[in-house]
């Protein structure tokens, strides 16, 4: 450790090797801080976020990061009360354990669990350390937008109070896009300490695996097929109904495969579609992402109509990093729509426009491969233009280290 290195404590219910995107991004940041000569201690749950049957070691060093996992902190995502219980127990345990750490210079917290910010504030006060708040989704806004809870319900009032506490207490607030910045500033004006930093691709390969050399395509019999892939969480913030209805209409086209990779409650809709050209796979190991993502010809991104500014569509970066065009299903105003409008890297259909989605699927199935490849190259060029994963993660860590 360098002489001026600092000690960071990360609070996150999810962390690698759990496949959830939040944990992967936090791991990238933690590992970069270690490379810079800092000490990083991560408190996380001992069981999987999406799959609580997955159990991880209670303590281990992962690429220089001291990962400490607590029990009874993740019970799956079957209901809001179950998720809340896991989150509250996680926070209480972390507060107690952090009391025995010495020399904490900064506390880094994201939004998994949503109540994690309370723990960060308490730990920050105990150790007189600044809190760095990295917002990846916004609650109670998400629960309200998805109809899970009413605007006047008691949990909403509690979350709104907690938001005001953490936003006022945080030394720095990091959001993922301009829509999220606007929403957060309406809660508390934090413009003087707010930074907009889009996340990065979980896998940013130096070269893209060609179809003919891709073991994932061979394993799943995709040679000669045009693959439209959805990769990531199948959650209510990412509705799939429009594309599934369109897929049912193109079942007569043997060239086309729609592959849904990942997990979440939306998998039930995918697996009950009853269409031979729809395939469903679980999350792939991070070591295999460069193959699974590159196996697609086009990547599907969906954004719920009420979701812009609440949840950021981070899966788009993995698709762009492997030079694949984007088929967006979502409203006119969202971050991915901005990318498409500015760079001509795909297609945009609104939710409910099944005719439009069907037309584009048939267009993709019959497209000249070079047309798809050119859109994909432009997508990869956009990622390279901002410096890729290394530069994006570096900018985030600059904010985390600021003022220490």
Using a 10 angstrom Cβ sphere, with 0-12 exposed, 13-18 middle and 19 or more buried, the burial of residue 85 is: middle
Taking a C-beta distance cutoff of 8 angstroms, is the pair 312, 199 a contact? yes
DSSP class of residue 25 equals H
Is 126 within a domain?
Answer: yes
Of 134, 164, 196, the domain-final residue: 196
State whether 161 and 288 are in the same domain. Answer: no
- Burial, 324: exposed, middle or buried (Cβ in 10 Å; 0-12, 13-18, 19+)? buried
Q: Tens-digit pLDDT profile for the chain (404 aa)?
A: 444 699 999 999 999 999 888 999 999 999 999 999 999 999 999 999 878 889 999 999 999 999 999 999 988 777 778 888 999 999 999 999 999 999 999 999 999 999 999 999 999 999 999 999 999 999 999 999 999 899 999 989 999 999 999 999 999 999 999 999 999 999 999 999 999 999 999 878 889 999 999 999 999 999 999 999 999 999 999 999 999 999 999 999 999 999 999 998 899 999 999 899 999 999 998 889 999 999 999 999 999 999 999 999 999 999 999 999 999 999 999 999 999 999 999 999 999 999 999 999 999 999 999 999 999 999 999 999 888 899 999 999 999 999 99
User: Cβ–Cβ contacts within 10 Å for residue 20, how many?
Assistant: 24
Give the pLDDT of residue 272. 93
- Structurally, how many domains does the chain consist of? 2
341: in domain: yes
Beta-carbon count within 10 A of 374 CB? 15
Kindly state whether residue 43 falls inside one of the protein's structural domains.
Answer: yes
Q: 173 with 255, same domain? A: no
Same domain, 59 and 102: yes
Q: Is residue 348 part of a domain?
A: yes
The pLDDT assigned to 387 comes to 85
Same domain, 16 and 148: yes
Q: On the CB side of 394, how many CA atoms lie within 13 Å of its CA?
A: 7
In a domain, 161, yes or no: yes
Is 146 found in the same domain as 115?
yes
- 367: tokens are 């497209």
Q: Are residues 104 and 226 in the same domain?
A: no
Q: Check whether residue 27 and residue 84 sit in a common domain.
A: yes
| Whether 151 and 223 share a structural domain | no
Neighbours of 31 (CB within 10 A): 18
Task: Kindly state the tokens that stand for 112.
Answer: 């998994």
Which H or E run contains 59? strand 59-62
pLDDT at residue 16, as a whole number: 95
Computed on alpha carbons and rounded to an integer, the radius of gyration of the chain in Å comes to: 21
What would the pLDDT profile of 272-311 be if each residue is shown by its tens digit? 998 999 999 999 988 899 999 999 999 999 999 999 999 9
Q: Tell me how far apart the alpha carbons of residues 312 and 334 are, in angstroms, rounded to a whole number.
A: 9
- Both 369 and 295 in one domain: the answer is yes
Strand arrangement of the beta sheet that strand 7-11 belongs to: 59-62, 65-70, 39-45, 7-11, 106-109, 131-134, 172-175, 194-196
Cα angle at 312 between 306 and 315, to 5 degrees? 120
Residues of the domain holding 378: 211-385
In a domain, 393, yes or no: no
217 and 175 share one domain: no
Tokens (6 digits) for 205: 């390969």
Does the N-terminal peptide bond of residue 113 adopt cis geometry, omega within 30 degrees of 0?
Answer: yes
Strands 131-134 and 39-45, by their bridges, are unpaired
CATH number of the CATH domain containing 183: 3.40.50.2000
* In a domain? residue 346: yes
From CA 256, how far away is CA 28, in angstroms rounded? 35
Annotate 144-194 with DSSP letters as a single string. Answer: HHTTSS-TTSHHHHHHHHHHHHHHHH-SEEEESSHHHHHHHHHHS--GGGE
Residues 189 and 257 in one domain: no
pLDDT of residue 1: 42
Residue 294: how many other CB atoms lie within 10 Å:
27
| Residue 270 belongs to some domain of the structure | yes
Mark whether 233 and 119 lie in a shared domain. no
């Amino acid at each position: 450790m360098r002489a001026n290195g600092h000690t960071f404590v990360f609070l996150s219910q999810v962390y690698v090797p759990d496949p959830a995107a939040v944990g992967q991004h936090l791991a990238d940041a933690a590992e970069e801080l270690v490379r810079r000569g800092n000490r990083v201690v991560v408190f996380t749950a001992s069981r999987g976020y999406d799959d609580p049957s997955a159990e991880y070691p209670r303590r281990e060093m992962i690429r220089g990061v001291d990962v400490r996992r607590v029990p009874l902190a993740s019970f799956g995502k079957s209901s809001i009360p179950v998720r809340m219980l896991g989150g509250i127990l996680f926070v209480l345990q972390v507060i107690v354990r952090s009391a025995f750490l010495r020399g904490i210079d900064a506390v880094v917290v994201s939004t998994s669990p949503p109540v994690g910010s309370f723990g960060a504030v308490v730990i920050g006060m105990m150790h007189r350390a600044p809190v760095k708040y990295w917002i990846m989704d916004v609650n109670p806004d998400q629960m309200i937008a998805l109809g899970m809870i009413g605007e006047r319900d008691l949990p909403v009032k509690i979350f709104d109070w907690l938001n005001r506490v953490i936003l006022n207490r945080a030394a720095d607030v990091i959001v993922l896009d301009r829509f999220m910045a606007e929403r957060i500033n309406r809660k508390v004006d934090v413009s003087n300490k707010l930074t907009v930093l889009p996340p990065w691709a979980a896998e940013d390969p130096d070269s893209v695996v060609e179809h003919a050399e891709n073991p994932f395509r061979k394993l799943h019999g995709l040679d000669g097929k045009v693959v439209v892939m959805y990769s990531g969480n199948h959650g209510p913030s990412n509705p799939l109904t429009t594309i599934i209805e369109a897929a049912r209409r193109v079942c007569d086209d043997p060239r086309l495969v729609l592959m849904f990779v990942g997990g979440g409650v939306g998998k039930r809709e995918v697996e009950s579609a009853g269409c031979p050209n729809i395939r469903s796979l679980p999350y792939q190991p991070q070591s295999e992402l460069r193959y699974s993502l590159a196996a697609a010809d086009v990547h599907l991104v969906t954004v719920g109509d009420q979701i812009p500014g609440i949840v950021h569509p981070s899966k788009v970066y993995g698709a762009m990093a492997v030079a694949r065009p984007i088929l967006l299903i979502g409203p006119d105003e969202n971050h991915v729509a901005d990318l498409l409008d500015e760079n001509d890297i795909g297609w945009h259909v609104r939710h409910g426009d099944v005719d439009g989605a069907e037309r584009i699927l048939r267009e993709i199935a019959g497209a000249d491969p070079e047309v798809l490849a050119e859109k994909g190259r432009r997508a990869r060029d956009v990622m390279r233009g901002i410096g890729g994963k290394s530069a994006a993660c570096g900018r985030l860590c600059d904010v985390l280290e600021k003022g220490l």
